[in-house]
């Protein structure tokens, strides 16, 4: 039998395989530790949501038992997008939230994400306290002080109305034809309804989850199915969500993929071209944000500030700067004037509203945004820290960075915070140089992994 170790927080909550890291025993401990943490903060109820993977029922029971044993109540909502839990807890006093999801990973994995009483992801300091409690002995409350469980029956309707209300009153999506790919995930019921009720003609795909098909050949990590449907239906746009609905990729009417950088650019143009906008024109990206986006923003008088990779770090930087718009290339987009976390449905609404308001085609809108050739490769590894400490790799990375200076290039090699992978990003204004250095570094990581 495998060693049932405690699970620890990564880039976005805790995540791992259900037959090893994220198993009922570790989730029970995590739930009890989280209950202790939130009770210490004066929070008496945790709202539990989940995506559609088959292990969600098992882990929901373990998590619920752990929380209740600490003396904290739970409220169950069933399959719901991660940002829906963020919204719900922000509407209740004395509530925080937790989502059982491994986002874009396949069904064999699962994970846990927590939200505080404001609907924001926990700080690193709070995560560390939960980890500390998880390593300590259980502190079960007396039976009369056990938490209680109940269901929130109107959660989906509440969230649908919240999403719809982020669209300006004078805008309608009537006349737009959309294909919505819900990745057989948490948004399969709510996403199509939102866009139908905003006036669009909607074709819904990947909306029949069976516990095993979440993200399988669909969603934001595999857009081929969506692209074919957009072209065959002669749709204006396709919207691909991930398994828990907090990020998106968009396909235009010509089958062109628009990633988080493209989406961020379009929303920013609409936001900052408004004559009524006051204050600093600023957007937060990450270390992965394409340098071409930074140049395009600079040309339009928009400042780009980079954070570490991870939407919680984007949020942290936005709060520090008192800005409202940021996002990741992977499709996490934060519109803090509309929602307090990354939300794929709301980001899609803001993108489509920008298209309607600006009244330009995608080629026209993106004509000033010239992306640098950028190659991202992922290599499966057993020990990411060991790979990153390899002297041969460190020397090769430095040499690549020196060679790419001529082409305004850069290299980023990092350990994934959600999977057992090393992520290698190479970028420059030369396709040949980018490809050459990417292949060299990828081959090297594979040889030492």
Work out the mean pLDDT of the chain and round it to a whole number. 94
pLDDT in tens, 32-70: 999 999 999 999 999 999 999 999 999 999 999 999 999
Q: What is the pLDDT of residue 312?
A: 86
Instruction: Give the Cβ contact number of residue 156 at 10 Å.
Output: 18
Q: What is the pLDDT of residue 3?
A: 41
Find the CATH number of the domain harbouring 414: 3.30.310.50
Is residue 245 left, alpha or beta, with left meaning phi > 0 and alpha meaning psi from -120 to 50? left
Q: Are residues 336 and 314 in the same domain?
A: yes
Confidence of residue 449 (pLDDT cuts 50, 70, 90): confident
Structural domain that includes position 140? 14-153
Confidence of residue 5 (pLDDT cuts 50, 70, 90): low
CA distances from 101 to 106, 110, 155 (A): 10, 5, 18
Q: Are residues 246 and 262 in the same domain?
A: yes
Q: Are residues 203 and 319 in the same domain?
A: yes
Q: Are residues 61 and 209 in the same domain?
A: no
Confirm whether 263 is domain-assigned: yes
Q: Are residues 85 and 137 in the same domain?
A: yes
Q: Are residues 315 and 393 in the same domain?
A: no
Q: What is the pLDDT of residue 2?
A: 39
pLDDT in tens, 278-309: 678 999 999 999 999 999 999 999 999 999 99
Q: Into how many domains does the chain fold?
A: 3
**Helix intervals (H) in 112-204:** 124-135, 155-164, 190-197
Q: Are residues 209 and 241 in the same domain?
A: yes
Confidence of residue 8 (pLDDT cuts 50, 70, 90): confident
pLDDT in tens, 327-380: 999 999 999 999 999 999 999 999 999 999 999 999 999 999 999 999 999 999
Q: Which range scores top for mean pLDDT: 13-17, 159-163, 268-272?
A: 159-163
Q: Are residues 229 and 137 in the same domain?
A: no
pLDDT in tens, 146-199: 999 999 999 999 999 999 999 999 999 999 999 999 999 999 999 999 999 999
Task: Give percent above pLDDT 90 in the chain.
Answer: 88
Cβ atoms 51, 185 nearer than 8 A: yes
pTM of the predicted structure, to 2 decimals: 0.92
Q: Are residues 191 and 311 in the same domain?
A: yes
Find the CATH number of the domain harbouring 149: 3.40.120.10
Residue 9 pLDDT exceeds 90: no
Point out the domain boundary residue: 317, 347, 365. 365
Point out the domain boundary residue: 122, 138, 153. 153
Q: Are residues 114 and 169 in the same domain?
A: no
Residues known to be catalytic: 103
pLDDT in tens, 215-238: 999 999 999 999 999 999 999 999
Point out the domain boundary residue: 136, 153, 170. 153
Which sign, positive or negative, has the C-alpha torsion 267, 268, 269, 272?
Answer: positive
Confirm whether 2 is domain-assigned: no
Mean pLDDT of the 97-119 span: 94
Confirm whether 221 is domain-assigned: yes
Phi, psi angle pair for 241, to nearest 5°: -95, 165
Confidence of residue 416 (pLDDT cuts 50, 70, 90): confident
Residue 277 pLDDT exceeds 90: no
Confirm whether 268 is domain-assigned: yes
Cβ atoms 85, 115 nearer than 8 A: yes
Fill in the DSSP letter of residue 383. Answer: -
Residue 418 pLDDT exceeds 80: no
């Amino acid at each position: 039998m495998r060693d049932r170790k405690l699970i620890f927080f990564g880039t976005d909550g805790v995540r791992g395989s259900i037959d090893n890291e994220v198993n009922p025993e570790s989730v029970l401990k995590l739930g009890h530790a989280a209950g202790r943490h939130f009770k210490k903060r004066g929070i008496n109820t945790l709202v539990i949501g989940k995506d559609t993977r088959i292990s969600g029922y098992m882990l929901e029971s373990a998590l619920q038992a752990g929380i209740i044993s600490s003396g904290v109540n739970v409220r169950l909502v069933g399959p719901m997008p991660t940002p829906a839990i963020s919204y719900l807890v922000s509407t209740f006093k004395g509530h925080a939230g937790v989502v059982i999801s491994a986002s874009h990973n396949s069904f064999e994995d699962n994970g846990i994400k927590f939200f505080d009483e404001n609907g924001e992801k926990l700080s690193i300091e709070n995560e560390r306290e939960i980890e500390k409690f998880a390593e300590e002995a259980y502190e079960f409350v007396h039976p009369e002080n056990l938490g209680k469980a109940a269901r929130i029956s109107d959660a989906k309707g509440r969230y649908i109305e919240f999403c719809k209300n982020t669209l300006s009153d004078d805008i309608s999506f009537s006349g737009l034809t959309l294909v919505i790919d819900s990745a057989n995930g948490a948004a399969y019921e709510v996403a199509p309804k939102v866009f139908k009720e905003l006036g669009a003609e909607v074709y819904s795909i990947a909306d029949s989850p069976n516990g095993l098909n979440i993200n399988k050949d669909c969603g934001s990590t595999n857009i081929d199915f969506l692209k074919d449907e957009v072209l065959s239906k002669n749709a204006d746009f396709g919207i691909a969500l991930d398994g828990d609905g907090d990020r998106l990729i968009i396909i235009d009417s010509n089958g062109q993929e628009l990633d988080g950088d493209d989406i961020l650019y379009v929303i920013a143009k609409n936001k900052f071209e408004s004559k009524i906008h006051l204050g600093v024109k600023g957007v937060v990206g990450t270390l992965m944000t394409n340098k071409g986006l930074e140049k395009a923003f600079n040309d339009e008088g928009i400042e780009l500030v980079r954070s570490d990779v991870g939407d919680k770090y984007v949020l942290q930087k936005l709060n520090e700067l008192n800005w409202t718009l940021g996002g990741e290339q992977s499709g996490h987009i934060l519109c803090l004037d509309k929602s307090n976390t990354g939300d794929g449905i709301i980001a899609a609404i803001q993108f489509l509203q920008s298209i309607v308001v600006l009244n330009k085609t995608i080629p026209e809108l993106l004509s000033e945004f010239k992306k640098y050739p950028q190659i991202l490769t992922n290599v499966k590894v057993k020990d990411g820290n060991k790979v990153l400490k390899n002297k041969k790799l460190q020397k090769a990375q430095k040499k690549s960075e020196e060679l790419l200076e001529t082409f305004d290039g850069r290299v980023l090699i990092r350990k994934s915070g959600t999977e057992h992978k090393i992520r290698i990003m190479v970028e420059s204004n030369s396709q040949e140089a980018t490809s050459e250095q990417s292949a060299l570094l990828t081959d090297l990581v594979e040889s030492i992994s």
